[in-house]
């Protein structure tokens, strides 16, 4: 299959004048979530505090992104739908999980925006760490949103089930004044080889190859981590989760490609973008570290596209055949039990 061509053709911003709905994207990053919605014909407005990410958004999308630090007092333009990814560091499994006590918590800002604009639909995503010891806070957020008159559906979804060549689990919450459900997983899985194609075996003078000391460092890391297989990219399966740390940093679990001659190199910005389902026409602002950070923080656009398509169908009262089966609560219960054990 020609996956790069598929995402480049499907994930194209356009405005559906008959739909005529505006989406407000809070904590928008480089625009991965907004790109999925623009590919379904929604108009977007973004807010993002990072200047490089804001520049990336404005360079690639039809909507405008404002470089602004949000507060609960921020006044927004009119919008029909609110989406976003409130900062996830307070809930990350790898972090301290301080939740509400973390100054980076963005949920009060998101809830304030819902109260201010009273949207038809809202959607937010966050890391699966919200299902650990901060599950109480997720419940608190959901209860407050339900008190505003919204019907909610939420589940732990994996982007790999929505044609993204990467295992990337996220808690997705969707709310509407009328009952709404999350999209059903797709049957087709995309592997690394589909996404990277010939890029996987290419290199040039700019390629960043592992040194002998880095090879030893990685070997020691994998031994200490009790890795069964080296953490190289395997072309016959989806990739591991892309994060800021394993893309931008020289860490033991960084994403890398092993060439036929045995050498290993770090993946490039374009390769990381493809694994996150960004089209090749999508260009990132800033230096390499900033670009990797934007990619690692982003919502995978093809995943966002399926979420946006479900909302569009909901709004237009079209066929609900893509509805997510009513097993999300059961899935979360199983996950919680697994986490506790």
State the first-to-last Cα distance of the chain, in angstroms, to the nearest integer. 40
Residues in the chain: 341
Strand partners, 151: 176
DSSP E strands, the chain:
22-26, 43-48, 64-67, 81-84, 121-127, 151-158, 169-176, 256-258, 264-266
* List 30, 40, 65, 88, catalytic entry: 88
What does each C-alpha distance from 308 to 40, 86, 303 come to in angstroms? 7, 18, 9
Rounded to whole angstroms, the Cα distance separating 275 from 96 reads 28
Of 170, 175, 166, give the one whose Cα is nearest residue 156.
170
**Is there a catalytic annotation at residue 244?**
no
C-alpha torsion angle, residues 131, 134, 140, 146 (rounded to 10): -20
Q: Which residues are catalytic?
A: 88
């Amino acid at each position: 299959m020609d996956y790069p061509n598929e995402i480049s053709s499907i994930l194209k911003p356009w405005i559906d004048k008959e739909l005529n709905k505006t989406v407000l994207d809070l904590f928008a990053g480089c625009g991965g979530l907004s790109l999925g919605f623009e590919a379904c014909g929604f108009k977007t407005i973004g807010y993002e505090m990072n200047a490089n990410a804001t520049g990336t958004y404005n360079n690639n999308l039809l909507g405008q992104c404002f470089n602004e630090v949000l507060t609960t007092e921020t006044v927004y333009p009119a919008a029909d739908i609110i989406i976003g990814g409130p900062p996830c560091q307070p809930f990350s499994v790898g972090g301290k999980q301080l939740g509400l006590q973390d100054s980076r918590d963005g949920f009060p800002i998101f809830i304030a925006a819902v109260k201010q604009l009273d949207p038809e639909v809202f959607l937010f995503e966050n890391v699966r760490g919200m299902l650990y010891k901060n599950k109480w806070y997720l419940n608190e957020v959901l209860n407050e949103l339900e008190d505003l008159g919204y019907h909610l559906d939420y589940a732990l979804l994996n982007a790999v089930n929505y044609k993204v060549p990467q295992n990337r689990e996220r808690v997705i919450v969707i709310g509407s004044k009328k009952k709404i459900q999350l999209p059903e997983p797709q049957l087709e899985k995309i592997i690394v080889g589909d996404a990277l194609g010939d890029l996987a075996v290419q290199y040039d003078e700019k390629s960043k190859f592992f040194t002998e000391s880095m090879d030893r460092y990685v070997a020691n890391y994998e031994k200490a981590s009790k890795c069964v297989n080296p953490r190289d990219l395997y072309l016959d399966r989806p990739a591991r989760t892309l994060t800021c740390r394993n893309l931008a940093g020289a860490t033991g679990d960084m994403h890398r490609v092993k060439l036929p001659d045995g050498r290993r190199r770090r993946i490039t910005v374009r390769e990381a973008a493809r694994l996150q389902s960004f089209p090749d026409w999508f260009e990132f602002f800033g230096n390499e570290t900033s670009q990797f950070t934007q990619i690692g923080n982003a919502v995978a656009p093809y995943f966002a596209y399926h979420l946006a398509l479900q909302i569009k169908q909901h709004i237009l009262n079209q066929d609900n055949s893509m509805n997510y089966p009513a097993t999300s609560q059961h899935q979360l219960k199983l996950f919680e039990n697994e986490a506790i054990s």
